[in-house]
Amino acid sequence: MAGTADEQTRRRTIDALRDLQYALEPPEETMQRLLVSLDLKIFDMLSESEIPLSLDELAQRSGAGRILLGKVGLRCRIVGTGSDTFAGRFLRHQSSLGIIKETDKDEFTASTQRGIFPFQRSRPACTSGNEPIRGATKQRLTRPRETSYFNRFMYAQRSGMKNCFSFLPIDQECKDWPADQPVFVDVGGGTGQQCTTIKEKCPNLPGRVILQDLPAVIAEAKVPDDIETMAYDFFTPQPIKGAKYYYLRAIMHDHADDKCLEILKRVADAMSPKSILLLDEIVVPNKNVEWYVTQTDLAMMVQFSSTERTEDQWRELLGKAGLEVQKITTYTYTFRLSVIAAMKKE
């Protein structure tokens, strides 16, 4: 077909296949593909409205304030309202990608991806400074609304995916664990998504389950009473010593190696010979990498000057922190989500 069809037929077929792909993908994959945020609430307006909305209506209701273009980190101020503004161009572009639908000239509605819109409001992090993620986190934490959006995004991001507590041998490894000792510490655990999940998956887990994050995030935590919450900065000494598991999900990929080492050494200092560090992260294959993985890697590079890591890089990083990899289990195909279990070197 590539050689015989005319350009229009080929283009239409490609677009139809794309629409089929979008219809099949789950929300967490859509979220990765979009990589765009819009603070005009246009996504919200479209997804809440039963009927298509005109560009003028959208521009008027939104006040046509600021808009973030689809390129990561690129910000642009919109001036004026009406059909000849950037908003129209932006919406047409979104529509051309199938993110929203153009129902008529200058008239739009939500696409089948409407479910993810409420989570698409956190802005790209700033890209300046020596350690962009820290600057971005600090900035975000001064803005309660953004903190809340980010926390919701983190909560939603993996909620539809396979969870590592479905297959890790937690019950078996903890069957003799003393009830008064810390069993699971989720470092940078957000509002408690994984603490709650481990309790659901392992209802008889003995020992204390502790959620740690920065104060503004802990203030938003919604966890059952038997989960302890603790405001803690992971660049400072870890106050919980000798826990069975120290669990860090999506923390390392936010940081360059030197900062990861600081965090890992804080954990390693608190670990006993029985402790296990669990890093729940992407492990990049050495070849034939899926675009979801490369895209996430580039997003981390552009936004935070950080990186996704290959198995060799993980082993080297952990080795420098005095830790030894015991096992790596990759549990999703698309994103190569993996659990790296490590213990202190003897």
Ligand X SMILES: C[S@@+](CC[C@H](N)C(=O)[O-])C[C@H]1O[C@@H](n2cnc3c(N)ncnc32)[C@H](O)[C@@H]1O
Considering the complex, state which of residue 28 and residue 254 has its C-beta at the smaller distance from ligand X: 254
Task: Determine if 249 is a binding residue for ligand X (CB under 6 A).
Answer: yes
Stretch that binds ligand X, among 17-25, 86-94, 166-174, 189-197 (CB under 6 A): 189-197
Stretch that binds ligand X, among 27-35, 166-174, 247-255, 335-343 (CB under 6 A): 247-255
Whether the Cβ atoms of residue 216 and residue 147 lie closer than 8 Å to each other: yes
Residue 90 CB, shortest distance to ligand X, in Å, is: 27
Residues 193-232 that bind ligand X (CB under 6 A): 193, 213-214, 217, 232
Is 253 a residue of the active site? yes
Q: Could you tell me the CA-to-CA distances from 323 to 213, 219, 238, 243, 258 in Å, in that order?
A: 23, 32, 16, 15, 15
Three-class SS state of 31: helix
Whether the Cβ atoms of residue 258 and residue 241 lie closer than 8 Å to each other: no
How many beta carbons lie within 10 A of that of residue 71, not counting itself?
A: 12
Considering the complex, state which of residue 132 and residue 188 has its C-beta at the smaller distance from ligand X: 188
Write the DSSP assignment of 42-89 as a string of letters. HHHHHHH-SS-EEHHHHHHHHTT-EEE-SSTT-EEE--S-STTSHHHH
Task: Determine if 281 is a binding residue for ligand X (CB under 6 A).
Answer: no
Task: Determine if 235 is a binding residue for ligand X (CB under 6 A).
Answer: yes
Considering the complex, state which of residue 100 and residue 133 has its C-beta at the smaller distance from ligand X: 133
Q: What are phi and psi of 204, to 5 degrees?
A: -100, 15
CA separation for the pair 163, 194 (Å, rounded): 9
Please state whether beta strands 245-249 and 276-284 pair in parallel, antiparallel, or not at all (unpaired).
parallel
CA separation for the pair 111, 88 (Å, rounded): 17
Q: Look up residue 125 and give its two tokens.
A: 């992090």
Residues 99-138 that bind ligand X (CB under 6 A): 137
Task: Determine if 297 is a binding residue for ligand X (CB under 6 A).
Answer: no
Residues 131-150 that bind ligand X (CB under 6 A): 137
Active-site choice (121, 208, 253, 266)? 253
Residue 249 CB, shortest distance to ligand X, in Å, is: 3
Considering the complex, state which of residue 28 and residue 213 has its C-beta at the smaller distance from ligand X: 213
Task: Determine if 32 is a binding residue for ligand X (CB under 6 A).
Answer: no
Residue 251 CB, shortest distance to ligand X, in Å, is: 6
Q: Look up residue 146 and give its two tokens.
A: 């953004």
Q: What does the binding site for ligand X look like in residue numbers (CB under 6 A)?
A: 137, 154, 188-190, 193, 213-214, 217, 232-235, 249-251, 254
Catalytic site residues?
A: 253
